[in-house]
Structure 1
Amino acid sequence: MRIYKKVSVAILIFYLLTYSKGFSMTFYVSKKGNDNWSGRISRPTLNHKDGPFLTVQRAIEEIKNMKEGMKPPEKSITIEVMDGTYQISDRIQIANCSSIHIKGIGKNVVLTGGQKIEKWEKINNPDILHRLNKNIREKVVMADLKKQGITDFGDFFQPSWAVSSGSQMYLYFNGKPMQIARWPDEGFAFTGDIVGKGRFYCDAGKEKLEKWREEKFLKAYGYWFYEWAAQHMEIESVDSESCIVSIRNPDSYEYGYKKGAMYFIYNGLSEINQPGEWCLNSDTGEIYFYPPSDIEKGDVIVSINTQPLIEIRNASKIRIENIVFENSRKEGITAYNGDDIIIEKCTFRNLGGWAIRQTSANNSKIRDCEIYNVGEGGIYIEGGSRKTLTPGNNQIVNNLIHDFSLWIRIYRPAIQINGVGNRVANNLIYNAPHMAIGWAGNENIIEFNEIHSVVLETNDAGAIYSGRDPSMQGNIIRYNYFHDIGRITGHGVASVYFDDGHCGNTVYGNIFYRACKPGRGNFGAVFIHGGRYNTIENNIFLECEQAYNESPWNQKLWNDYWTKPPYNQRIFGEEVDVRKEPYLSKYPWLINILNDTRPNVLARNIVYKCKAFIDRGKPELIDNLVEVDPMFESYDPYNPGFLKLKKGSPAFRIGFNQIPVENIGFKKGRHR
């Protein structure tokens, strides 16, 4: 960055002296700027010899150089970014520094990882026209990405169901993600007979399969065996006579294949049949698109950046405010080993990966942001030490997160929180195929969130989910409002799901309205699989098909699970050993974990207009009010205050405490 050191020594000393005396310091970034200028004034001078910087990265480098050179006191320096769209070709790096505030000034400060496609052509190639539906041949246009300087077309490869795929390219029209051409147009098809590993009968019809034979870049996405484990695959071959579709590298999906599995086929030229659909020839770089409206009057953007738009490493006291992050193939912001990182009032949209991903985070806050149209999850944050039970004190508060998990559709929740002593509150989460919130760790709090219309696609799943570790105790899920959870009849879906032996956690004061799908596993709104001595207390279950249920483990299964690899290492390992400190003092009962048979406890819950309360397991039941009119002040399930109880409610006689419904949900304009 020495090329930019054009500022005179005298001016630099002046800035440092004023900064060290307590005056605030601000650098400016503008589309009208120049990285050879000082960055200390917001507009170019009349003689165009000084003015704002052109890039945020230049401002960061200037701040780092200044601090390293003179060692001033650690006061925050502000970078004000003026209205405009700033294309980020690599990433903005904030590393090994502290006390920087990056603030968007205005309503449209945008960091984009995309490129506009300027030139579209009518299709004249007869081979291409032949493969298109004759009714729309004149409506589909083509662009040669190579001619527009784009040579990295990404890939759709996913090495296994549990990991992310490659840096796939997305196409956006007027700010909205367009649909990769697919069959069926909506929902899923179901595999027919399995005739070999990764080979199945497809009922699309011989005419369609004959067209697929000419498609070189067909892909498939499917829940090939379990409806909680899906994977993107490449199509190896299509036999139109026998109607058999064969998947390339079928062993990469570890569970095998079954008849009746949900799947769809995509990226086929012959499947473009609706406005908004597109497909990509990744050999030639030709992209084909059926625009929803006049393409000459619209903006078509493809994502090209394969890096996070902002990357923070080994930094503290970093604040990012009022900025839009969009059109990247990866994350909006990643942060590694950060302390006191604040991200607020930002918008994350049209991203291929997570919106925000933080690891080794402490004392950080993500608040008042909106996240939507992201390929993976919303916010991933890991903070606090499970080894020492030291809290991370991170907070994810008052965010609006919807329409996520568009590409990797499983285990990419709106919020994933790992570690100790973190808080998730007042978020509004909706529209997703799988989870809303995932958690792993100890002493975390999830409260005052509204969650609806999630787990719309998957089975054996929960809106809030965690599992497979009985040492993860002391977590509290309270004062949340769940409604309209799950969609597919036959799928087992809960609002709160403790899976595979989770113990010692609390579900308190939540409202569950139409909040489950029992399915084959007979799931309740709260469902516990194998877990023990969890407390389910002071909740309201309303119009749920099943309020609560559990699938208990016998003692042999319990001991086998926790005394053999790999799961024995979760409770008797190097990172966590429940026989040693600090677990011995914090959770003394865990010393007896293999023989502790205490039941789950259901106490002082209201169950009203539900088809069933509980029909499996032997939890301890204490003073629950079941199918007795609880006397609500009003009965409008879509009014956030609908479940206040009248003074004479019989629920108060069993010790039920009024739920503070007025504090639940997203608070619009709280910090904006």
Structure 2
Amino acid sequence: MTMSNPVTICVGGDSPVSTLHEARDLARSSIATGSPVVVEIASGDYRLDEPLDLDDSDGGTESAPVIWRPRQGEEVRLHAGALLDGFQRVDDEATLQRLPEHARGKVWQVDLARAGVTNFGHPAAGGLELFFDGTPLTLARWPNEGFDRITGLVGGDPVDVRGTRGDAQGNLYVRRTRLQRWAAEPDPWAHGYWFWDWADERHRIQRVDAEYGVLELEPPAHRYGYRTGQWFYGYNLLCELDEPGEWYLDRQTGVLYLWPPTDVDAAEVSVSVGQHVVRMKGVANLTLQGLTFEFARGDAVQVRDARQVVIDNCTFRNLGGWAVTVSGGHGVRVKQCHIHGTGNGGIVLAGGDRTTLSSSDHVAEDNHIHHYGRVNRMYQPALQISGVGQQVRHNHIHHAPHMAIQFAGNDHLIELNEIHHVCLESNDAGAIYSGRDWTWRGTIIRHNLLWEITGFEDRGCVGVYLDDMLCGTQITGNLFYRVTRAAMIGGGRDCLVQDNLFVDCVPATHVDARAMNWASYHVETTMRDRLERMPVASPIWAQRYPELLTIWEEEAAAPKGNIIRRNVCQGGVWDGLREDARSYVELSANLVADDVGLEGTAPRFGLRADSLAHSIGFQQIPLEHVGPRDPSTR
């Protein structure tokens, strides 16, 4: 962005202004005169003990905006952490005896009070994390990677969910090989997928019975109960600090123990301390550009009730929460950012007025988001959108335990995104997901590339998952390659699946009538309640979604109005429609063949000029435009 004769406020380097808070206060006087302002930050690290709070006095106007950016060609890191030094090799006998034998002599310790860190947070999530040369390290755990399994249940309070049986009490039989050492730990924890593979939770371990191989988890119990064969790991265990890159914090003494990956004295070792880096409320016409955000325990940047705010070409990494959360306001854009290593997801966009269907026009575009959901694993997508009229386009999303994009509300646009290797720790999950509300309508999912999405242990998941009676969504012009249940309509109505190319998907399409059978209890409860909350008879709703006016007269539980047409499928399985739904679905002009005339290499397949797909009117997918438009951000 270029501006005419801006007031420039320099921070750091040779400037007398050394902190961002000072720069903010200086900028306010120039903003008040109507001048455009550039806050130019010299190269370096800027620790924020308190967030940089920006309000309506810190924003500009359309003709006189405000920009915060590094000095040209320099790198600036804003962080909420503390650097650690003064590590000493562990030599006291009591601690050495708690360590695995092969770790003795290799573990170092430091008193966090030396760095002024006394608030450690909680082992369950949201507390202090440790980073070594920019890499998040692992709180000591077993197994070191992956999971162990529940071998049985002590029982006492049986649970039966449609034939899936477990127990409501967290008393579990597990393998006994590690338990003798765990029994001596002061604060052991376990993280598991205790009943369903989409619902994880952390529990403190209340008691360890090493003789009988029982873990007794501290109440309250997991809301769904526990099931034999489900997976978990133990953590916050000094006795399992058994390889480089693991650490443990004694929360009583404040002493941190680390087996460093490399020379600890030559590395930057940091812990997260503050909750946020930047918070905006009521700001207008302000840009954050080219900055790196790191080491917050919570969300790095929070934006509330803002207008025309842009977060451009920033890096977000090593965070405990989200990179950017946007709520309310209008026209906020997050673009060309690199987001990775977040504890939660990537970007939240929420805004607009559902009662009037007024759009917020927030946009997330050209971002590269990967390896997110480090701490909170489920329902922490790269992009979470809600309200009305969010736009998510040209993003590259990959390598995550759960979803890529979750949407709720109305009239969103999800287009030209590349998504792969997500849902790596869950099976009943979707790369693009929404569900359980008849009034969430009008979203268009088009021209996206989804590939290699096969679930935990390759046991299957979903590409685009319209769960539990979601309605009125369009899935058009997407390419699915090696995706299980690529396009799934879970009992909903009025959905369109058209002009999609499915290659080696099992199955390509799925429609069921769950609201007429096992999920029927939702119809007169959740579904009716959410329908009655919205003004569906108001003129704007009646014009936009006339189907809702007569839904009760039109077999509300039936999956009516769904259309699957003009799709092309090669390999895998085409038809995954359940028989109880088939009569309600319009299937027409779909091409299913062993050779549909593909060209190009996986996953970016095209169709040859002689492909039979052209004869059914199939619309070519613009793969050359999928993903970030600047190749350097991919």
Shift of residue 138 of structure 1?
Answer: 0.7
Contact conserved, 1:172 with 1:300, CA < 8 A, in 2? yes
| 1:11 matched residue in structure 2 | none
Distance in 1, matches of 2:121 and 2:538, equals 48
Distance in 2, matches of 1:569 and 1:119, equals 59
Task: Give the letter for the 1:126 counterpart.
Answer: E
Matched, 1:63 2:27: yes
Shift of residue 318 of structure 1?
Answer: 1.5
Matched, 1:578 2:550: no
Distance in 2, matches of 1:245 and 1:559, equals 37
Give a deviation string over 1:494-550, Cα, whole Å, max 9, x none.
11000111011100000000012xxxxxxx111121111210000000011211112
CA 1:383 to 1:585, structure 2 compared with 1: closer, same or farther past 3 Å?
same
Shift of residue 330 of structure 1?
Answer: 1.0
1:452-601 to 2 correspondences below 5 Å: 452-489=420-457, 491-516=459-484, 524-555=485-516, 560-564=521-525, 566-573=526-533, 576-596=534-554, 597=558, 598-601=560-563
Matched, 1:85 2:45: yes
| 1:277 matched residue in structure 2 | 246
Contact conserved, 1:508 with 1:536, CA < 8 A, in 2? yes
Distance in 1, matches of 2:4 and 2:514, equals 63
Task: Give the letter for the 2:142 counterpart.
Answer: W
Q: State TM-score, norm by structure 2.
A: 0.92
Distance in 2, matches of 1:562 and 1:547, equals 27
Aligned partner (choices 374, 380, 404) of residue 436 of structure 1? 404
* Of 342-351 and 97-106, the range deviating more from structure 2: 97-106
| 1:254 matched residue in structure 2 | 223
Shift of residue 57 of structure 1?
Answer: 1.5
Shift of residue 669 of structure 1?
Answer: 5.1
| 1:120 matched residue in structure 2 | 87
Matched, 1:608 2:570: yes
Contact conserved, 2:284 with 2:306, CA < 8 A, in 1? yes
Shift of residue 587 of structure 1?
Answer: 0.8
SS at match of 2:119: coil
Matched, 1:212 2:176: no
Distance in 1, matches of 2:226 and 2:220, equals 9
* Of 616-625 and 411-420, the range deviating more from structure 2: 616-625
Matched, 1:633 2:593: no
Shift of residue 579 of structure 1?
Answer: 2.7
| 1:225 matched residue in structure 2 | 195
Q: State TM-score, norm by structure 1.
A: 0.87
SS at match of 1:124: coil
Distance in 2, matches of 1:381 and 1:476, equals 16
Give a deviation string over 1:69-114, Cα, whole Å, max 9, x none.
xx423x4311011110001111001012222211122342000111
| 2:589 matched residue in structure 1 | 623
CA 1:670 to 1:181, structure 2 compared with 1: closer, same or farther past 3 Å?
closer
Shift of residue 413 of structure 1?
Answer: 0.3
Contact conserved, 2:574 with 2:592, CA < 8 A, in 1? no
Distance in 2, matches of 1:594 and 1:622, equals 27
SS at match of 2:293: strand
* Of 435-444 and 187-196, the range deviating more from structure 2: 187-196
CA 1:556 to 1:594, structure 2 compared with 1: closer, same or farther past 3 Å?
farther
Shift of residue 64 of structure 1?
Answer: 2.4
| 1:18 matched residue in structure 2 | none
Aligned partner (choices 4, 8, 11) of residue 29 of structure 1? 11
SS at match of 1:512: strand
Shift of residue 589 of structure 1?
Answer: 1.5
Give a deviation string over 1:380-430, Cα, whole Å, max 9, x none.
110211111001111100000000000000000000011111210110000
Task: Give the letter for the 1:240 counterpart.
Answer: A
Matched, 1:174 2:133: yes
Give a deviation string over 1:339-395, Cα, whole Å, max 9, x none.
111001000000000011110031111000000001000001102111110011111
Contact conserved, 2:30 with 2:37, CA < 8 A, in 1? no
Give a deviation string over 1:186-234, Cα, whole Å, max 9, x none.
11111122215111011141xx211111111211111111111111111
Shift of residue 628 of structure 1?
Answer: 4.7
1:273-422 to 2 correspondences below 5 Å: 273-305=242-274, 307-422=275-390
Distance in 2, matches of 1:204 and 1:276, equals 25
Give a deviation string over 1:293-321, Cα, whole Å, max 9, x none.
1111111111111x210000111111100
SS at match of 2:408: strand
Aligned partner (choices 170, 174, 192) of residue 198 of structure 1? 170
Distance in 1, matches of 2:339 and 2:357, equals 31
1:9-28 to 2 correspondences below 5 Å: 23-28=5-10
Matched, 1:101 2:67: yes
CA 1:148 to 1:363, structure 2 compared with 1: closer, same or farther past 3 Å?
closer
Distance in 1, matches of 2:277 and 2:378, equals 24
Matched, 1:238 2:208: yes
| 2:628 matched residue in structure 1 | 666
Give a deviation string over 1:438-491, Cα, whole Å, max 9, x none.
011111110000000000011211000000111111110000000010343574
Shift of residue 670 of structure 1?
Answer: 7.6
SS at match of 1:501: coil
Distance in 2, matches of 1:107 and 1:601, equals 53
Contact conserved, 1:217 with 1:282, CA < 8 A, in 2? no
Contact conserved, 1:455 with 1:463, CA < 8 A, in 2? yes
Matched, 1:139 2:132: no
Contact conserved, 1:217 with 1:281, CA < 8 A, in 2? no
SS at match of 1:593: helix
Distance in 1, matches of 2:231 and 2:120, equals 28
Report how many aligned residue pairs link the two structures.
604
Distance in 2, matches of 1:327 and 1:186, equals 24
SS at match of 2:216: strand
* Of 378-387 and 145-154, the range deviating more from structure 2: 145-154
Contact conserved, 1:572 with 1:579, CA < 8 A, in 2? no
CA 1:170 to 1:474, structure 2 compared with 1: closer, same or farther past 3 Å?
same
| 2:416 matched residue in structure 1 | 448
Contact conserved, 2:469 with 2:515, CA < 8 A, in 1? no
Distance in 2, matches of 1:22 and 1:326, equals 32
Shift of residue 256 of structure 1?
Answer: 1.4
Shift of residue 624 of structure 1?
Answer: 0.3
Cα root mean square deviation, aligned:
1.9
* Of 433-442 and 486-495, the range deviating more from structure 2: 486-495
Contact conserved, 1:368 with 1:670, CA < 8 A, in 2? no
Contact conserved, 1:173 with 1:301, CA < 8 A, in 2? yes
Distance in 1, matches of 2:385 and 2:577, equals 32
Which of 1 and 2 has higher RCO (CA within 8 Å, sep 6+)?
Answer: 2
Distance in 1, matches of 2:272 and 2:228, equals 36
Task: Give the letter for the 1:637 counterpart.
Answer: A
| Identical residues among aligned pairs (%) | 34
